[in-house]
Amino acid sequence: MFHNVESSNPYRSSSTEIALDAHDPIRDVLALARPRTVAPVPLRAEAPWAVRYSPFPHIKLGVVVEGECWLCIDGLEALRLAKGDFFLLGNPPPYGLGSSVEAARNRNPDGLLPESSSASRNTTSQDSATYMCSVDFEFPDSDSSALFSSLPTVTLVKAGDTDERLLWNIVTLLIHEMERQKVGRSLVLEHVAQILLVQMLRSHAGLSHGPLGWLASVADDGIGAALRAMHAEPGRRWTLEELARIAMMSRSAFAAAFRGKVGRPPLDYLIEWRMQLARAALHTEDSLAAIAETTGYRSESAFSTAFRRVVGISPREFRTSLRPQRKGRAPAGSALMSDED
């Protein structure tokens, strides 16, 4: 006989059903950040070669399809990348990729590939020494602190690691779409790139240790349940006792575990998440009173005080600073994929 088992806690991942519209903190943060997804022309090059990148708010995903190269991030030790190696860069300082450490660290490589030179990235034949594909997620107009604060400057998944086979299957489809001009190419590239990003974020959470922000805690059936609850109902007047009950922990154990994994107390995290939602809402025509109610504040003045404490300026000042670039309501999801020519 089969029994219909219903979870008494909808925020716990052990529920027997998967609600596709359920609040997932990773999805929520990415949707709020609205990244612009860019697929640069795949790099094909024979030594000597190098490409330098200036800092800007972005996440880069890359994979060495053939050959090898060096990744040199300013202030960090040089990393050798071989065929099958994946890397994720979280809002990095200036960095370079090259056929040697010297070339990759050279700020003005003489006679080598100039920064962002798309044409020169595709100068050799299919059997070139190095063949690399990458995807950039750019964050030019939004607050991405929740995402960036959970990422190290660089995360590596080496060939042969547990997640490498799955990542390789995803990137194979990405390469297939990059190399062919077919109907729906941009749509497929955007979604495949997002799948690759989420899988790399999972890999980072699984490989890392210590306080990692919300990212490494989402999969935890206790702390993750509390995070999902706060994301599902950010305007609710949550108490520490309620969140601890959802996590199925004592109040003291929950507070200590949450701070240890997320890096801040539960209610501090809730306030910061509310303010990120408020910043996004201030791009719209919603009134301050409506935004205050949505984010859990009983009055506009209470909301303004909390906003100023976290953001540094009042909601009205924040909205005024957006007027030259605001064009109606902010989009609900991430921007469309674009391809560099």
73, 169: one domain: yes
Reported for 74-83, long-range contacts at CB under 8 A and 24+ positions apart, including other chains, are 76/153, 76/154, 78/104, 78/105, 79/154, 79/156, 82/159, 83/159
**pLDDT at residue 146, rounded to an integer:** 60
Cα(187)–Cα(153) distance, rounded to whole angstroms?
28
Query: Same domain for 148 and 241?
Result: no
If asked whether residues 177 and 303 sit together in one domain, one would say no
Q: With a threshold of 0.75, does the pTM exceed it?
A: no
Domain holding 48: CATH number?
A: 2.60.120.280
Contact present, 308 and 314 (Cβ < 8 Å): yes
Q: Is residue 164 one of the residues assigned to a domain?
A: yes
Are 81 and 163 found together in one domain?
A: yes
The distance between the two most distant Cα atoms of the chain, rounded to a whole number of Å, is: 74
Q: Are residues 44 and 78 in the same domain?
A: yes
pLDDT in tens, 127-152: 448 999 999 988 765 566 566 666 77
Tell me: do 144 and 248 sit in the same domain.
no
pLDDT above 70 as % of the chain = 73
Residues 198 and 156 in one domain: yes
Number of structural domains found in the chain: 2
Which regions of the chain are under pLDDT 70? 1-24, 32-33, 107-128, 140-150, 205-216, 218-219, 324-341
Q: Are strands 79-82 and 50-53 parallel, antiparallel or unpaired?
A: unpaired
Confirm whether 15 is domain-assigned.
Answer: no
Q: What is the CATH number of the domain that holds 245?
A: 1.10.10.60
Residue 6, pLDDT score: 37
In this prediction, residue 324 carries a pLDDT of: 61
Q: Which of 157, 185, 207 is the last residue of a domain?
A: 207
Among 162, 188, 207, residue at a domain's last position: 207
Provide the token pair at 147: 């995402």
Q: Are 56 and 66 in contact (CB under 8 A)?
A: no
For residue 48 the two structure tokens come to 């000597």
Residue 74: per-residue pLDDT? 93
* H/E element, 36: strand 36-39
Question: Strands 68-73 and 95-98, how do they pair?
Answer: antiparallel
Read off the pLDDT of residues 114-127 as tens digits, 9 standing for 90 and up.
444 433 444 444 44
Could you tell me if 137 and 45 are in contact, meaning their C-beta atoms sit under 8 angstroms apart? no
H-run or E-run covering 227: helix 223-232
- d(C-alpha 313, C-alpha 311), whole Å: 6
Classify the phi-psi angles of 116: left when phi > 0, otherwise alpha if psi is within -120 to 50, otherwise beta.
left
232 shares a domain with 174: no
Is the alpha carbon torsion for 280, 283, 284, 289 positive or negative?
positive
Do both 171 and 249 map to the same domain?
no
Domain hosting 270: range is 215-322
**Rounded CA separation 282/123 (Å):** 46
> Is 264 domain-assigned?
yes
Final residue belonging to a domain, choices 190, 207, 224: 207
Same domain, 134 and 234: no
